[in-house]
Chain A
Amino acid sequence: MLELYGQKFSSRLLIGTARYPSLAVMQEAVKASGAEIVTVSVRRENAGGKDGDAFWNIIRELNVKVLPNTAGCYSVEDAVSTAELARELFNTKWIKLEVIGDKATLQPDVVGTLEATKILLADGFEVFPYCTEDLTVAKRLADAGCKVVMPWGSQIGSGKGILHEEALRRMRAELRGVSLVIDAGLGAPSHAAKALEMGYDAVLLNTAVAGSGDPVRMAKAFAHALDAGRAAFEAGMMKPREIAQPSTPVTGTPFANTANARSS
């Protein structure tokens, strides 16, 4: 079971609700994914509040746990204020904390993220910080009190998968007591499977499903990949070796030790 701040979930997928062709497709894709947690955002009212109502009514029908984000915040002050609005709006202590440092790469400002994390934890929030593969930053976030840390696979919306495998393997090995979620950059189900094979607890994705040709089928594909990845991790994968080792037993091979038999 996936555990996030003391709550348990059977699905290891956190799925975004943005960029689908329609709200109806979004709703079907979330169902197909099996996800029990969806990410949402806080935005200025539009169309007299009707857009927000239409969206929120669909989310409520899905009966899932909501993880609001601070997407689009470039300062600690904006991220903290947005988190406070999210807590009021969605009635949850959970916050996916994004403090972005660079417009082109949407790379997190890890210094600002740590600062905002401390403020929000002290204010009673349960923080899901979006960070990079930097081990020291992840450790600082865990030391500050985060029970969940969410390093990127690659840039948000890029679909490149896991770019810094070695660093992320190291992070998994070092941060045993923390739930680690690969957030951002996953494009293919195989990327998600790999994250779980590496021992990551869950993945968070959006564009890979929403931007695919058929979001509902892709949501299912990710669900299967996550099942496979987790099962592989729990089963324990073989260690890669330098040279071949025959899988078929050698003993009893026909024509062994006869004329013309060759072995080297």
Chain B
Amino acid sequence: MQKAALHEKTVIALTINGERKQVRAITPRELLTELELEGEFFAIAVNRRVITRTRWDESILRDGDSVEIVTPRQGG
């Protein structure tokens, strides 16, 4: 309980898709929820390293991290 309360207060600054944002999310999964991303098909890299979908609940985001959130799109 105490840990959760502490979690509530923690705000970190991330660069998300090139824009600086303050967030409360600790994991990539929480970040997607906090950003209200409703899509299903994403890939995420933190500091240029891909975080596989299976690790979205366990990987920890840190203050200053640079996050890329990408989706499939038209291409030639």
B75 and A48 form a contact (CB under 8 A): no
B76 and A84 form a contact (CB under 8 A): no
A241 to B35, CA, bound (A): 68
- Count B-side interface residues using an 8 Å CB cutoff: 25
Indicate whether A55 sits within 8 Å of B48 (C-beta atoms), given known contacts A45-B37, A88-B43, A89-B43: no
- Count A-side interface residues using an 8 Å CB cutoff: 39
Indicate whether A41 sits within 8 Å of B39 (C-beta atoms), given known contacts A84-B45, A85-B50, A85-B68: no
Besides A52-B73, A88-B50, 8 more A-B contacts (Cβ < 8 Å) are A17-B75, A41-B72, A41-B73, A41-B74, A41-B75, A52-B41, A85-B50, A89-B71
Write out the residue numbers on chain B whose beta carbons fall within 8 Å of the beta carbon of A88: 43, 50, 52-53
A56 near B: Cβ within 8 Å?
yes
A18 and B75 form a contact (CB under 8 A): yes
**Which residues of A pack against B, CB within 8 Å?**
16-20, 26, 39-46, 48-53, 55-56, 59, 68-69, 71, 77, 81, 84-90, 156-157, 206-207
B71 and A52 form a contact (CB under 8 A): yes
A81 to B39, CA, bound (A): 22
Chain A, Cβ-Cβ closest to B19: A44
B72 and A42 form a contact (CB under 8 A): yes
B71 and A53 form a contact (CB under 8 A): yes
B17 near A: Cβ within 8 Å?
yes
B76 and A207 form a contact (CB under 8 A): yes
Of B42, B68, B71, the most chain A CB neighbours within 10 A belong to B71
B11 to chain A, nearest CB (A): 22
15 contacts between A and B (CB under 8 A): A18-B75, A42-B43, A45-B39, A45-B69, A48-B38, A49-B38, A49-B42, A55-B73, A56-B71, A69-B75, A81-B45, A81-B48, A89-B41, A89-B70, A207-B76
Write out the residue numbers on chain B whose beta carbons fall within 8 Å of the beta carbon of A87: 50
B8 near A: Cβ within 8 Å?
no
Write out the residue numbers on chain A whose beta carbons fall within 8 Å of the beta carbon of B50: 84-85, 87-88
